[in-house]
Amino acid sequence: MKRTIRDLMTQNVVTVTLQDNVHEIAVKMRDHNIGFIPVIDNGRVVGCVTDRDLVIRGYAEKRPGSAAVEEVMTSPCVKVSPDITPAEAARIMADRQIRRLVVEENGRLAGVVAIGDLAVRDDLRPESGEALGEISEPVASR
């Protein structure tokens, strides 16, 4: 049986909406001990926010805590089907230099898969290690 990221992804995903602000995102990240939150509008993923986004586009740009989600979110997010293989997920992460993928099924959020989800599996360590190495490469050297 072919293993898919459906078997590895986090399904109970904390989300925010376009009505939330930077402060509310930061509080959710703190309260849930996470660094990545998809942004949902009318049931669809329209973007995502990482802890890095909050620092670079929020704090460093002197945006107050009341700044809108849209001012700091990455849009669009990289989205994949739950039926891709872990090796395919690792390749996408490496190619895009990202650590998390939004998993969608029928246009709706199904989960999130992170490089760490791949790394904790003994049989996936080579793919996840290679992906992490490529993710961590400076863009200029590629």
CA 94/CA 73 separation, integer angstroms? 21
Strand pairing class (100-105; 16-17): unpaired
pLDDT at residue 41, as a whole number: 95
**Mean predicted confidence (pLDDT) in 9-36:** 95
Three-state DSSP at 46 gives strand
CA 31/CA 106 separation, integer angstroms? 30
CA 19/CA 23 separation, integer angstroms? 12
Q: What is the mean pLDDT of the chain?
A: 86
Tokens of 135: 């993710």
CA 8/CA 2 separation, integer angstroms? 13
Q: Which CATH number fits domain 5-141: 1.20.1330.10, 3.10.580.10, 3.40.1160.10, 3.30.70.660?
A: 3.10.580.10
pLDDT at residue 83, as a whole number: 96
pLDDT tens sequence across 66-111: 899 999 999 999 999 999 999 899 899 989 989 999 999 999 999 9
**In the chain, domain spans:** 5-141
Tokens of 107: 């246009």
What contacts 7, CB < 8 A, 6 or more positions away? none
Percent of all residues in the chain with a pLDDT value above 70, rounded to a whole number:
83
pLDDT at residue 120, as a whole number: 66
**Mean predicted confidence (pLDDT) in 45-60:** 93
| Global model pTM greater than 0.75 | yes
From edge to edge, which strands make up the β-sheet containing 36-41? 16-17, 36-41, 44-50
What letter does residue 141 receive in the DSSP assignment? G
pLDDT at residue 20, as a whole number: 95
pLDDT reading at 122 higher than 70: no
pLDDT at residue 141, as a whole number: 46
